[in-house]
Structure 1
Amino acid sequence: MDFTLDEDILFLKRNVRDFIQNEVEAVAMQIEEEQKIPERIIELSKGMGLFGLSIPEQYGGLGIGMVGKCALYEEIGATHNGYTTLIGAHTGIGTVGIVELGNEEQKKKYLPDMAAGNRIGAFALTEPEAGSHATNLKSTAVKKGNNYILNGTKHYITNATEADIFTVMAVTDPEKGAKGITSFIVEKNFPGFAVGKEEKKMGLHGSHSAEVIMEDCEVPAENVLGEVGQGYVNALKILANGRAGLAARNLGSSQQLLDLSVKFAKERVQFGQPIIEHQAVAHMLAEMAVDVETLRSFMYRVAWMVDQNQQVIKEAAMLKLFGSEVYNRVADKAVQVHGGIGYIADYPIERYYRDARITRIYEGTSEIQKNIIAGRLNKEYS
């Protein structure tokens, strides 16, 4: 395996780093307080092509592989996680399904606008009774002429208030269990489709999650994504593909926390010397550094496997589990290194600490990842 990035990716990586540090970081506290990403930042992101990371060049995207995409995600992750999540949910689970599973007509219809950031994507699987138990969907889709009629409620849908295009899972044959679920491309302006109450969250301010309500929602049959009855399989593919990217964003945040913590420990003086000279603090920094570097190596390995079209169900689950646990460990130690300042909302450490917590829950909880890993091990050793 060779993780050397080519010159084009390195050029993009430098540009993204400059943009994140000079533009997004400058408004991070504004995003946190106003719970809104400034329109200027959105427009600049469009101009840089950040909404098209997952989309092939022939449809207006950047057309880069998973290793290159993760290199950019690592930079994007080093700032306010509300911004990171808007971009990540769109370029990850919001568009990957159409890229990987859509037919040519669907790709031509939707991807160019999504690549330009003119239409935002979202992924609607979770329901009040179908969180970790993702096959327990209550949303239904019944064929009626040239349409499917969808009924049901999704919740905790990231990007719901901004999104124009939703990848929605619904039950087309309740007798078949997981094999009776179908995925659909649903536009926000389809009759019977509505976005409900926005959730107030612990973290990820500026990234909006809300209910999605379908009441006799009319979806053209041509908007079935993939094959009828393959929706659950599609969901697993979409989620697995996105897990390397999610880990890369976690890595960027963890690296930022390490950088801030080392800088603070070198400047903060207690008992007559910088606290980095105190063994208790030094050991925390060392543990943070080991976690960050291990996550970086693991993330690029799985990203490389994705680019080689290797099956990564187990590895992607391992990476999602490890990446989210690393981010949470690093955030906790960063608060401890900073002491009282780390607990104050005027400084970024407290924000990262709150933002980190969701990573062990969304896109598959840590416990679900362990179930996937154990299930694959059971098959491998049978």
Structure 2
Amino acid sequence: MTIPIETVKSIEALFSDFARAHILALPGLGEQTLFPKDLWEEMGQANLLNPALFTDPALEDRSCLAITRAGSALVSGGGNLGMALSWMVHHLVARYLLFQEGNNERQEVLEQLGKTMAPGDATVCFAVSEPKAGAHPKYMAATAQKTNTGYILNGEKTYLTNAPIAQAFIVIAVTGVEREKKQFSAFLVPKKTKGLRVLPPMAIPFFNPSPHGSIYLKECQVPDNALMGRLGHAHKDMVLAFRKVEDAAMTGPVTGAMAFLLDALAREMANGKNPGEQDIEQLGGLAALLETADLLSWNAAMAVDDSAACSEPVAILLQFKRLVGQYVAELDALVEKTNLILPAPCGILIHDLKSSAQMGKNNSRIQQTKLGRVLLKKSGKH
């Protein structure tokens, strides 16, 4: 199924219009560490937080693509990556974790969550990473012990997007060991559950004002129906699957940031002294990089939506990250060469793009090495 182009344009227009009217109008938003609840509520009032937003027949099989394009428009119109990140995670958790088939046992809880998520009164946080362990399954240590009536959770989770504003958490915990490998399960834990403590917001030096935080679980008791998905299979079924969706969807906000920066640079060049031919050529080169990044973003999202017809988006995402790095470097060089000063919030956007690229370097190296090993293995057979 191919998503109608008019549907895509409608999504982009909706989010771009909102961003220009409500996000771009807020000076210093990218430097703000306190989450703007009033802006979040405005997004809810505009129906942008409704978990059902991307589940109509035209989008049901292309929800990652729809979320990716909406995220791109949110940043290209508003010039802020932080709000787009929180918005995106809000939808991805709802679409790919909460409202999935097989969650019928907690239907009443989910229906109530859906009602409160739509206007912005609640969001749900995916709690995977741990202190000193990240999301590495070998070192994650939070546990869920079976009891006669449910499970008892103990451990700590950190660097959680939207944790400070979440009303519930999907907690990944060890529920057993098989052949020396930890088995992980997922549990839906409301914020008010006894034994769950939400720690103060963390200071993250990029993607402001998206809130990040930690939770601490001590003898936290949950009923049997708090279990989500298959017992012992959450790492493959949820953690790895969600990471793939999140990586693909995040290309949308990033391309939106690239588009915002290019528009700002073009305006400054047009309104300044007459640019030289070489400067114009370099500006065109940036436009070409943006168009290529946009194409890669589209294909990464399509690969998630139609995994049967498309190959894994690993190579696409690796090339996307490399291209973004090249784009930022060339944009920096052109700005310096032309002695231009880009208006706010361009400086924050450039900082956020550089910071996120630096953070993902190690994972990119690992993925690239895996591709190389596969190639060597194939070549060794001939």
TM, length-normalised to structure 1: 0.84
State the SS of the aligned residue for 1:26: coil
- Equivalent positions of 1:1-382 (< 5 A) are 4-6=4-6, 8-27=7-26, 29-52=27-50, 57=55, 65-78=63-76, 79-93=79-93, 95-100=95-100, 102-106=102-106, 109-110=109-110, 112-113=114-115, 114-131=117-134, 133-176=136-179, 178=181, 180-233=183-236, 234-269=238-273, 273-274=274-275, 277-279=276-278, 281-310=279-308, 314-315=312-313, 317-339=314-336, 347-360=344-357, 361=359, 365-371=363-369, 373-374=371-372
For the residues of structure 2 that align with 1:99 and 1:312, how far apart are their CA atoms? Answer: 24
For the residues of structure 2 that align with 1:278 and 1:341, how far apart are their CA atoms? Answer: 12
AA aligned to 1:86 is S
- State the Cα deviation string for residues 294-327 of structure 1 (Å, max 9, x = none): 1211222232333334276731x33443334433
- State the Cα deviation string for residues 306-353 of structure 1 (Å, max 9, x = none): 3334276731x3344333443343334333333399998972222012
User: Higher mean Cα deviation, 206-215 or 360-369?
Assistant: 360-369
Task: Give structure 2 stretches of 5+ with no counterpart.
Answer: none
- State the Cα deviation string for residues 149-186 of structure 1 (Å, max 9, x = none): 11111111111101112222111113455551111222
Cα contact 2:302–2:310 (8 A) shared by 1: no
Pairwise CA RMSD: 3.2
For the residues of structure 2 that align with 1:228 and 1:379, how far apart are their CA atoms? Answer: 34
Q: Which runs of 4+ in 1 moved over 4 A?
A: 1-4, 53-58, 175-179, 340-346, 371-382
Larger relative contact order (Cα-Cα within 8 Å, sequence gap ≥ 6):
2
State the SS of the aligned residue for 1:181: strand
Change (3 A) 1:301 1:107: farther
Change (3 A) 1:72 1:86: same
Cα contact 2:128–2:172 (8 A) shared by 1: yes
Change (3 A) 1:144 1:380: farther
Change (3 A) 1:183 1:310: same
Change (3 A) 1:180 1:55: farther
State the SS of the aligned residue for 2:308: coil
State the SS of the aligned residue for 1:150: strand
State the SS of the aligned residue for 1:154: strand
Cα contact 1:173–1:229 (8 A) shared by 2: yes
Task: Give structure 1 stretches of 5+ with no counterpart.
Answer: none
For the residues of structure 2 that align with 1:160 and 1:92, how far apart are their CA atoms? Answer: 15
For the residues of structure 2 that align with 1:165 and 1:343, how far apart are their CA atoms? Answer: 46
Change (3 A) 1:375 1:215: farther
For the residues of structure 2 that align with 1:178 and 1:332, how far apart are their CA atoms? Answer: 42
Cα contact 1:94–1:166 (8 A) shared by 2: no
Deviation at 1:282, TM superposition (A): 3.6
Cα contact 1:99–1:107 (8 A) shared by 2: no
Identity %: 22
- State the Cα deviation string for residues 253-278 of structure 1 (Å, max 9, x = none): 11111211222222232xxx32xx25
AA aligned to 2:20 is Q
For the residues of structure 1 that align with 2:376 and 2:243, how far apart are their CA atoms? Answer: 21
For the residues of structure 2 that align with 1:322 and 1:310, how far apart are their CA atoms? Answer: 22
TM, length-normalised to structure 2: 0.84
Deviation at 1:372, TM superposition (A): 5.6
